Amino acid sequence: MSFKEPSSTQIFFTVAIGHTFGSFFWKNYVKSLNLSGNEKILEYGSGSGALSRHIAPILLKGGGSLTCVDVSQKWMSTIQKRVNNYPNVEFELGTIFDLDIPDNSYDAVVIHYVLHDIDSNLREEIVRALSRKLKKGGKVYIREPLADNHGMQSAEIRELMIKAGLNEINFKINNVRLVGESTEAVFEK
Ligand SMILES: C[S@@+](CC[C@H](N)C(=O)[O-])C[C@H]1O[C@@H](n2cnc3c(N)ncnc32)[C@H](O)[C@@H]1O
């Protein structure tokens, strides 16, 4: 699977913006998911932890847990430094195919600006694999940019989720601060 490790500059700016000024916006998005707190959640492509750091405390309070998965060694070491004080968070390096995660075991999968970065011919297989990890009734929360030069079409997201056996619960297009027009959707197994 081809992917590019981030440069030190990219890591620096992602953390500098995403974990400070951007934090407000990511926190609001997490709030909008209305998590109960007791869920077992898998965040796929967790990056620097910009979102994970807001999910983790909600789950800590409610008895839930978070698995942060990322294929990049550099993003993994960044998140491990930034989201390091939660006993309910675990980190897994690799793609969903590399990891020994049982099927039907998660209440939710969060995909936050990740799929568009993955080769289009690999997306279907990845979404199917993520769907298998969900319990019946489990949810996928997805947000992806719509920009032509760095994004993906809403219709493709719908198609991938339906092919993976997921039903649409909520689907909208929002103008997200710092990113621009984005598809924001929830699907259920
Ligand atoms: C744009 S970043 C988003 C990071 C994070 N979700 C956020 O919103 O801050 C995309 C992330 O997806 C990861 N990624 C790309 N391809 C992947 C794959 N096939 N499996 C798992 N993670 C992947 C990258 O390493 C990167 O951390």
Are the C-beta atoms of 68 and 83 separated by less than 8 Å? yes
Residue 92 CA to residue 159 CA, distance in Å, equals 28
Rounded to the nearest angstrom, the distance between the alpha carbon of 117 and the centre of ligand 1 is: 7
- As beta bridge partners, residue 65 has 40
Tell me which amino acid residue 187 is.
F
pLDDT range class, residue 148, cuts 50, 70, 90: confident
CA 104 to ligand 1 center in whole angstroms: 22
What's the pLDDT tens digit per position in 114-139? 999 999 999 999 999 999 999 999 99
What's residue 103's pLDDT? 97
Instruction: Look at ligand 1, atom 20, and give the residue with the nearest C-alpha.
Output: 95
CB 115 within 8 A of CB 157: yes
Alpha-carbon separation of residue 31 from 58, 62, 80, 84, 127 (angstroms): 9, 14, 23, 21, 24
Q: Tell how far the Cα of 38 is from the centroid of ligand 1, in angstroms.
A: 25
What's residue 1's pLDDT? 66
**For residue 177, what pLDDT band results from cuts at 50, 70 and 90?**
confident
CA nearest 6: which of 122, 117, 168?
Answer: 117
CA of 158 to the centre of ligand 1 (A): 20
Q: At CA 131, angle to CA 83 and CA 45, rounded to 5?
A: 30
User: Across residues 151-175, what is the average pLDDT?
Assistant: 96
pLDDT in tens, 5-29: 999 999 999 999 888 888 999 999 9
- Indicate which atom in ligand 1 lies nearest the CA of residue 14: 9
Using one digit for the tens of pLDDT, what is the confidence trace for 43-90? 999 999 999 999 999 999 999 999 999 999 999 999 999 999 999 999
Residues having CB within 6 Å of any atom of ligand 1: 1, 3, 18, 44-48, 50-51, 69-72, 75, 95, 112-114, 117-118
Distance CA 54, CA 86 (A): 11
Q: 């793609």: which residue's tokens? A: 95
**Which domains are assigned to the chain?**
8-188 (3.40.50.150)
